[in-house]
Structure 1
Amino acid sequence: MDELGYFGGTSDVRTVPQGSLNNYYLFYRPVNGMMVRERSHAEVYVTFGAAKFWVHTEDEVAYYGGWSNVNVVPDTSTSTVSNTPECGTRLRERSSGQIYLIGVGGKFLIQNPDSYDWANHFVVPDGSLSSFPDASVHVCMT
């Protein structure tokens, strides 16, 4: 089945004025905390900082709200979402108390978490940060 057919066919297509979708940021940047799965694939991802993170266990799917919160998207849609979060994104793995700031050179450990605003970061699945090297300084380039 083709993508258009799976999502309802041409009867569900609506013509809208040019430029009318410009205010829908979702089309350009993934929403933080949104879980997605491509139609023909089992892998589920959660998005934070404009990047996708693989949600590899049932327990973690439940942590992010359960299967009813998984959005099915057309095949190949997740290929356009980065594997690296935006510079300055603050992340911690679910079972860890260490918070990292993502930068150009990798992840920078926030050294004094006692003075940190704990509401100001995102929680990613365990193991998600292992692919980012440890950085001794935090650098963002614009």
Structure 2
Amino acid sequence: MGRYDGFREFVLARQQALMRSAYLLTGDAHLAEDLMQSVLLKVANHWPRLVRHGTPEAYTRKALINQYISWQRRKRRESPNVDPPERGHAHDAATIDRIVLHQVLTRLTPRQRAVIVLRFYEDRSERETAEPLGCSLGT
């Protein structure tokens, strides 16, 4: 039995769902791909232990969230928060709603954004949302 037996199958089976979560966290397709690659490297390094304990999906989701939060902390330390300049384009109501929603989501803390992704986009229970974030159920 090889060190990475089952890893390829796991990635193929869960790749789309994990990529969707990464995109919802980052809001950018390229950053989501970078996030996924970074996390899958960690998962591959711990694969034998994860298979033994039967927790590859839980570990991967938690690693995805933790890596995203870590990136956001580093990003905030490195660059000041500057809003982009206003543009003079005319938009329909649906476009304006999307722009406003995007602006609101970017103001959430990384952990708050992770809660939104887990709870509402992935339809996880409160317990399933609290576990990878390492917080109590009431939080």
TM-score normalised by structure 2 residue count? 0.27
Larger relative CO (CA 8 A, sep 6+): 1 or 2? 2
> Structure 1 or 2: larger strand share?
1
